[in-house]
Amino acid sequence: MNRKQTILLLMYIVPPVVAGCQRVEELGPVATATSVNSIRAAFASDAGGSGASTAAVATGTGWATIRGRFVFDGTPPEMQPYSANKDQATCTVGGKSPLQETLLVDSATQGVANVAIYIRKAPRVHESAEPNEDKVVFDQKVCVFLTHVFPLTIGQTISIKNSDNVGHNTNIDGKNGFNQTIPAGEAVDFKPQKEEAVPVGVVCSIHPWMRAYFLPRANGYYAVTGPDGSFEIANVPAGDELEFQVWHESAGGRGGPLVLSTAEAKQLKWNKKGRFKIKLAENEEKELDIAVPAAAFGG
Amino acid sequence: MLIKDFGGRTMNHNFGRKTWLGALIAAAVLIGCDSVGPPAFRMNMVAAVSTDPPTSPQYQQEIADVLGALFGTPDEPFALPETGLDVSKLRQSAGPAWSDEEGYNYGLYRKHCVHCHGITGDGRGPTAQFLNPYPRDYRPGVYKFKSTFNPAKPTHDDLHTVLINGIPGTAMPSFSLLPGSEVESLVEYVKYLSFRGQMETKLIAFVYDELGEEVAEDESGNEIRDEDGNLVINRPALDPTQNVDQRDMVLEMLAEVIEGWNEANDQIIAPEEESIPAEDRTPEEVLASVEKGRELFYGTRANCIKCHGPTGLGDGQQDDHDNWQKAHKKFLEDTALMAENIDRQAGEDDVDWDQLAEEQELLAAREGVTETLYSLRNAIPRNLRQGVYRGGRRRLDIFRRVYAGIAGSPMPATGPASPGAKGTLTEAEIWNIVDYVVTLPYEPSSQPQRVTPKYTEAIAR
């Protein structure tokens, strides 16, 4: 075999033969026949379950309050401006784009804003947290959604408002799909029907830098931290173990469950899904001061 | 072996070896990939690995098994009676392509669809990455061209129409030459692949939300460690054979998926009679309507101009992506971010090597998936000067596009989001836009539509 033949062989024949069978698309598991048969038999059987295993069972009585603050530990990042490249007359102020809100830390108190904290499954719901039909306003101005993380209770109607003089469209991801044009200076109503486990994205396709988050929940046991990082959830069930979900847009650097491994978080058994459990006594007013290291935001 | 053979040896000396080598290669080529066995449904790895923390391989296997129980395999499809799917139709579309002696065709999906839409219906057939737009990924159960409100599923007839008409301007051809029964069978199969895909996403979410590995604790809430000092991890399995509640919950998820599809017929957009433009309009009436449509097109209520551009060429906002691409984009960006973070952490003074190794492992899992993704594409608004309408060229089709927007794409609705809700525009206004849009191809594309089109009279006829 001369040199040329060998090179040809190496170039054209060997790679396909070697690579041929390792098709990269074929990732992930394939169902195993024996398991499939037994699971299928289980689906065909009539044996009924209790149907309530994941719903928390209430044993406690009375109510309690949980409040606290998320405090940034480290040097807060500086927010960069949005790149508003459309409708600049409206979407910029004095030629400057508004600043992003991916991680807002209050300079005075080091409080972390826009942390969503909510009870995953409530064993009981106080009347003050029950679904209501109050109307809530979700506004946009200077091509920025004015509420960055927007929780609401199923049953409420959102008035999606446009306070700009250009048109927007509000495109809500998740189970309550919504994508409708919102005319300049007008508002459009929307009533979400389904609960989400974590906040879902809200964008505007006309101005794709615009971003906010929606969190529709079945009851009012939720809070989003204010500019000083504080939150309060009142009238939560006492005497039962409550599991809280904590979420931030920039958690882990890419958004999602806020995972903490500080000593106080360990006490709360904070897990990798950004959840912790707590049991409150009747009329207890629990204060949580939660330090959030820069590393929790991938920083 | 090959490398060693290179150099020094004479042709004669090498001849026998070469023949032997050739035979070996030929054998490898012929046998090699047949060893992969019958085609199998593949997991939605972007969804499985996107959860934070990602779905573990054990759970992935359990999810695949539950899906196998609910839906069978590409050769042996299965559907529970409550899905309403016609298994005999599924059987006609599934499996390898062949014809019986009487000329009945089987394996229709593999004969007509699989090369673009892939065996799992993930839009990843062998030709998929060469097409623009990419073939539809059925797994989210989202379809663009349909008669229903934006978030609603398509009706059976909507999918049927797409198969009959194809999608103009894309690689999707018309299958109108197939016998009606074959088209019906394929529609059923496409729905089946969507049911399966939607269930897959739900199962991944269920495992993440309700199950998952957790550090074991003793009764007083302390972590348990084994003899080697490692934390003991509990992993509640996804196993509907052992856990009746899980079984019920899986069936409930299936019921939710089916309900969405069953509701589609109640979500059809039927234009109000009184707003539908009369068929015998005078040219002046048409002109007036076109004029109103033009104003809306350029105005801040309908906002068409923002994306379709001042000339209707589709050259406005082009930075956005459709939902299928957005999911991939987020996955790619997050993976890049993870890699960046790991690099930075490794360079720091106090490195937690255990944690870094853990993150490295997660990154490797993600990178395995990113390698399989096709290059990202932006959602380009339709060029309205071409007269090519993907969802159909009837005025009713265009009305529904403007009314409901296009599901999964950036195109928003101007009508209500659901039956009974309030739209942004009235139906009469939407018909005005339809009148204007259908005039656009009749002007040279270099000419901005600031003036009323010239050929309105001809169009009116």
Give the mean model confidence (pLDDT) for residues B72-93: 96
Q: Which residues pair with A179 in a beta bridge?
A: A171
**Choosing among B17, B52, B239, which should be mutated to test the A contact, i.e. which has the most A CBs within 10 A?**
B52
Task: Closest CB to B2: pick one of A10, A49, A50.
Answer: A10
For B258-282, what is each residue's pLDDT tens digit? 999 999 999 999 999 999 999 999 9
Q: At what angle do helices B395-404 and B427-439 cross, to 10 degrees?
A: 120
For B416-444, what is each residue's pLDDT tens digit? 998 988 899 999 999 999 999 999 998 76
Bond from prior residue into A199 cis (ω within 30 degrees of 0)? no
Tokens of B16: 């026998």
pLDDT of residue A1: 54
**Contacts with B18 from chain A: Cβ below 8 Å:** 1
Residue B92 φ/ψ, nearest 5 degrees: -70, -30
Task: Closest CB to B341: pick one of A2, A31, A298.
Answer: A298
Cα dihedral: B437, B439, B442, B448 (round 10): -60
Cα–Cα distance, B143 to B137 (Å, whole number): 9
Residue A241 in contact with partner chain B when CB distance is under 8 A? no
Task: Closest CB to A1: pick one of B5, B214, B302.
Answer: B5
B384 or B220, which is more confident: B384
| A211-217 and A149-153 beta bridge pairing | parallel
Q: Which residues pair with A171 in a beta bridge?
A: A179, A203
For A213-248, what is each residue's pLDDT tens digit? 999 999 999 999 999 999 999 999 999 999 999 999
Residue B311 confidence class, pLDDT cut points 50, 70, 90:
confident
**Choosing among B34, B306, B369, B433, which should be mutated to test the A contact, i.e. which has the most A CBs within 10 A?**
B306
For B117-162, what is each residue's pLDDT tens digit? 999 999 999 999 999 999 999 999 999 999 999 999 999 999 999 9
Q: Are B256 and B199 in contact (CB under 8 A)?
A: no
Number of C-beta neighbours around residue B102 at 10 A: 5
- Which one, of A249, A277, A262, A225, lies nearest residue A111 by Cα? A225
- With CB atoms and an 8 Å threshold, state whether B250 touches A184: no
pLDDT of residue B7: 39
Cα–Cα distance, B38 to A43 (Å, whole number): 25
Number of H helices, E strands in chain B: 17, 4
Q: Which ipTM value was assigned to this complex?
A: 0.87
A149 or B53, which is more confident: A149
Nearest CA to CA, how far is A73 from chain B (Å)? 17
One-character DSSP codes across A134-157 = -EEEE-EETTEES-SEEEEEBTBE
Burial of A134 (0-12, 13-18, 19+ CB in 10 A): exposed
**Contacts with A191 from chain B: Cβ below 8 Å:** 421
What distance, in Å, lies between the first and last C-alpha atoms of chain B? 76
| A115-119 and A222-224 beta bridge pairing | antiparallel
Minimum Cα–Cα distance from A245: chain B residue = B209
Q: Which residues pair with A172 in a beta bridge?
A: A178, A202
Minimum Cα–Cα distance from A193: chain B residue = B418
Cα–Cα distance, A136 to A236 (Å, whole number): 22
Nearest CA to CA, how far is B334 from chain A (Å)? 6
- With CB atoms and an 8 Å threshold, state whether A53 touches B48: no
- With CB atoms and an 8 Å threshold, state whether B241 touches A39: yes
Q: Rg of chain A's alpha carbons, rounded to an integer?
A: 25
Residue listed under structure tokens 């006309």: A206
Q: Is residue A158 within a helix (H) or strand (E), and if so which, with residue range?
A: strand A157-161
Residue listed under structure tokens 């992003």: A100
Nearest CA to CA, how far is B245 from chain A (Å)? 5
- Which one, of B433, B396, B436, lies nearest residue B414 by Cα? B433
Nearest CA to CA, how far is B452 from chain A (Å)? 23
Q: Are B122 and B201 in contact (CB under 8 A)?
A: no
Q: At what angle do helices A33-44 and B57-71 cross, to 10 degrees?
A: 60
Residue B455 confidence class, pLDDT cut points 50, 70, 90:
very low
Residue listed under structure tokens 């005999």: B88
The pLDDT of residue B190 is above 90: yes
Task: Closest CB to B52: pick one of A13, A36, A256.
Answer: A256
Cα dihedral: B3, B7, B11, B15 (round 10): -20
| A140-141 and A275-279 beta bridge pairing | unpaired
pLDDT of residue B12: 46
pLDDT of residue A110: 94
Give the mean model confidence (pLDDT) for residues B14-32: 57
Q: What is the mean pLDDT of chain B?
A: 88
Number of C-beta neighbours around residue B173 at 10 A: 13
Give the mean model confidence (pLDDT) for residues B105-110: 96
3-class secondary structure, B456: helix
The pLDDT of residue B91 is above 90: yes
Q: Are B341 and A298 in contact (CB under 8 A)?
A: yes
Residue B359 confidence class, pLDDT cut points 50, 70, 90:
confident
- With CB atoms and an 8 Å threshold, state whether B25 touches A13: yes
pTM for this predicted structure:
0.88
The pLDDT of residue B175 is above 90: yes
Q: Are A262 and A293 in contact (CB under 8 A)?
A: yes
- Which one, of B53, B250, B71, B44, lies nearest residue B140 by Cα? B44
- With CB atoms and an 8 Å threshold, state whether B303 touches A197: no
pLDDT of residue A252: 86
Task: Closest CB to A189: pick one of B69, B221, B422.
Answer: B422
Cα–Cα distance, B364 to B186 (Å, whole number): 38
pLDDT of residue B433: 97
Minimum Cα–Cα distance from B29: chain A residue = A17
Cα–Cα distance, A74 to A54 (Å, whole number): 38
Which residues, 6 or more positions from B398, have their beta carbon under 8 angstroms from its beta carbon? B389, B391, B392, B434, B437, B438
- With CB atoms and an 8 Å threshold, state whether B337 touches A86: no
Residue listed under structure tokens 């506004």: A139
**Choosing among A85, A206, A276, A277, which should be mutated to test the B contact, i.e. which has the most B CBs within 10 A?**
A206
pLDDT of residue B13: 47
Residue A55 in contact with partner chain B when CB distance is under 8 A? no
pLDDT of residue B31: 54
Residue A11 in contact with partner chain B when CB distance is under 8 A? no
**Contacts with B412 from chain A: Cβ below 8 Å:** 169-171, 179-181, 205
Residues 91-110 of A with CB under 8 A from B: none
3-class secondary structure, B365: helix
| A187-190 and A157-161 beta bridge pairing | antiparallel
Nearest CA to CA, how far is B101 from chain A (Å)? 31
Cα–Cα distance, B191 to B197 (Å, whole number): 10
Which residues, 6 or more positions from A118, have their beta carbon under 8 angstroms from its beta carbon? A151, A215, A217, A221, A222, A223, A233, A244, A245
What is chain A's pLDDT, residue by residue, as a tens digit (299 residues)?
566 666 555 555 555 555 555 444 578 899 999 999 999 999 988 766 555 555 566 778 899 999 999 999 999 999 999 988 888 889 999 888 999 999 999 999 999 999 999 999 999 999 999 999 999 999 999 999 999 999 999 999 999 999 999 999 999 999 998 999 999 999 999 999 999 999 999 999 999 899 999 999 999 999 999 999 999 999 999 999 999 999 999 998 888 999 998 888 988 989 999 999 999 999 999 999 999 999 888 76
**DSSP conformational letter for B96:** S
Minimum Cα–Cα distance from B352: chain A residue = A295
Q: Is residue A144 within a helix (H) or strand (E), and if so which, with residue range?
A: strand A144-145
Cα–Cα distance, B321 to B380 (Å, whole number): 8
Tokens of B298: 């350029």
pLDDT of residue B407: 95
For B224-251, what is each residue's pLDDT tens digit? 888 888 888 889 999 999 999 999 999 9
Residue A8 in contact with partner chain B when CB distance is under 8 A? no
One-character DSSP codes across B125-144 = -TTGGGSSSPPP--TT---S
Burial of B190 (0-12, 13-18, 19+ CB in 10 A): buried
Bond from prior residue into B416 cis (ω within 30 degrees of 0)? no
